Amino acid sequence: MTRVRYIADSMAEAVAAARRQHGIRARIVHAGALPGGFGRRGSFEVVVDAAPASLGVTRARRAARLALARAVIAARRASDEAGEAVAAVESAPTMEVRPAVLARLAARLRLQSLPEDLVSHVLARVEEELGDALGADDSDALVRHAALQAVAGLLPVSTPRAPTIGRADGRPHVVLVAGPTGVGKTTTVAKLAAGFRAEHGLRVGLVAADAFRVGAVEQLRTYASIIGAPVRPADGPSAVRDALAALASCDVVLVDTPGRGHRDSARIDEVGALVDAARPDETHLVLPGSASAASLDAAAGAFGRVGATRIVLSKLDESETLGGVVAAVRRAGAAASWFTTGQEVPDDIERADAHRFAELLLGEDEEA
Ligand SMILES: Nc1nc2c(ncn2[C@@H]2O[C@H](COP(=O)(O)OP(=O)(O)OP(=O)(O)O)[C@@H](O)[C@H]2O)c(=O)[nH]1
Ligand SMILES: [Mg+2]
């Protein structure tokens, strides 16, 4: 893929230059202020994919990219699992004897950082499901099938539906996105906004509720100018209320919020105050598959204050282990809504699907 960078004095000029060269469907891979460059000449950049492919080619390319990433991870996992299985037998020769297929499954789940209580739960479900069939010649395939069901059952999912429009109270449907820093909130807002426009033909408005951050409004404005959606900056709860009032004629309004570190409880409370002001119909907490199980757990706990009703699992294309993600979703007490699988707006987003998640966690079927 060829990427071209446009640098200009303002984000609008950088976007205009990119669009002149690549047309309205230019695929924006990154947009933002250059580090340390704010206020200087040439301080904003937009990076576009210079060869936007047809939808079919894009899908094929994405599938190939994911397949390659998964193949690399699967190879590493196979070698880790072999080591883990040998170590388990050597260190615990008196352990309960289980068919080798179950031992391999347990090793795989542990390498995915699935917490021990969930590993036991999956093993119990598989044993319960298979009963005497365990140990038969084809039990690898049977175990895989049962394990997929059991792992899928661990992830609560709420399949997103098109928002209700023309509500009795006259308000737009409000979707707010919150979460730790750099997890993909703004990119997810842009992907969702593009989907609402293109798939459902809705009038979409955007609120940049992190307006005090250098370059934050510009980043959202860049995506908005391509999608064709109005953006209102807001730098606090009352500004959020004003922004929503100004966008009252929209069908859907997406509210982007500032990222917060999970240890920064005072500033997470500020995000909570933005949520209270926006009174969203859906509050999505974004948790990245690329993060460690420990930081996902901490983020799920710390962001409890924002009262998320849905979880977006982002950066699944970069994830090496997915056990921490399941545990964090369960801890947050909300259901997964969307998966994001790359940087490209609007393509790299899909509706959450527990079975697909289980396939990602368990890896490809080696015999397939
Ligand atoms: N690989 C990958 N990268 C992603 C994905 N979603 C977003 N990104 C990238 O992650 C980086 C941060 O994305 P943003 O959308 O700016 O993240 P944010 O949560 O809004 O960040 P802050 O507002 O600074 O807290 C960008 O380089 C995005 O292109 C994804 O699903 N996969
Ligand atoms: Mg952001």
Question: Domain spans of the chain?
Answer: 3-52, 57-152, 173-362
pLDDT in tens, 8-64: 887 778 877 877 777 666 677 887 777 665 556 667 888 887 765 544 566 677 777
Output 247 or 98, whichever has higher pLDDT: 247
- Pick the closest to residue 357 from 344, 342, 335, 339 (CA basis): 339
pLDDT score at 90 = 60
How confident is the model at residue 58, as a pLDDT? 63
CA dist., res. 368 & res. 365, Å (int): 5
* Pocket lining: 182 vs ligand 1, CB cutoff 6 Å: yes
Element (H, E) at 293: helix 293-302
From the CA of 361, how far away is ligand 2's center (Å)? 27
* Percent of the chain surpassing pLDDT 90: 57
Tell the residue nearest (CA) to atom 13 of ligand 1: 184
Testing ligand 1's pocket by substitution, the residue of 11, 187, 264, 316 carrying the most ligand atoms inside 8 A of its CB is: 187
User: Is any ligand 1 atom within 6 A of the Cβ of residue 184?
Assistant: yes
The answer to whether the pTM exceeds 0.85 is no
Q: Which of 271, 306, 343, 348 to mutate to test the pocket of ligand 1 (most atoms within 8 A of CB)?
A: 343
Contact present, 131 and 342 (Cβ < 8 Å): no
- For the segment 229-248, the average pLDDT, to the nearest whole number, is 96
**pLDDT above 70 coverage of the chain, percent:** 88
In the prediction, which pLDDT does 120 show? Answer: 96
Q: How many CB atoms lie within 10 A of CB 197?
A: 18
Distance CA 225, CA 221 (A): 6
Nearest ligand, measured from the Cα of 217: 2
List the one residue out of 135, 86, 131, 128 whose CA is nearest residue 107: 86
318 alpha carbon, closest ligand: 1
**Domain 173-362, CATH:** 3.40.50.300
Cα 3 to middle of ligand 2, angstroms? 22
CA distance linking residue 38 with residue 357, whole number of Å: 40
The protein residue whose alpha carbon is closest to atom 21 in ligand 1 is 182
| Ligand 1 center to 288 CA (angstroms) | 9
Identify the H or E element spanning 232.
Answer: strand 231-233
Give the C-alpha separation, 368 to 364, whole Å.
Answer: 8
**Ligand 1 pocket, 187 CB below 6 A?**
yes
Cβ-proximal residues to 149 (8 Å cutoff; 6+ apart), any chain: 125, 129, 358
Ligand 1 atom with the smallest distance to the CA of 341 is 31
- Region class of 307: left (phi > 0), else alpha (psi between -120 and 50), else beta: left
For residue 189, pLDDT over 90 is answered with: yes
pLDDT in tens, 278-327: 999 999 999 999 999 999 999 999 999 999 999 999 999 999 999 999 99
Report the separation in Å between the CA atom of 41 and the middle of ligand 2, taken as the mean of its atom positions: 23
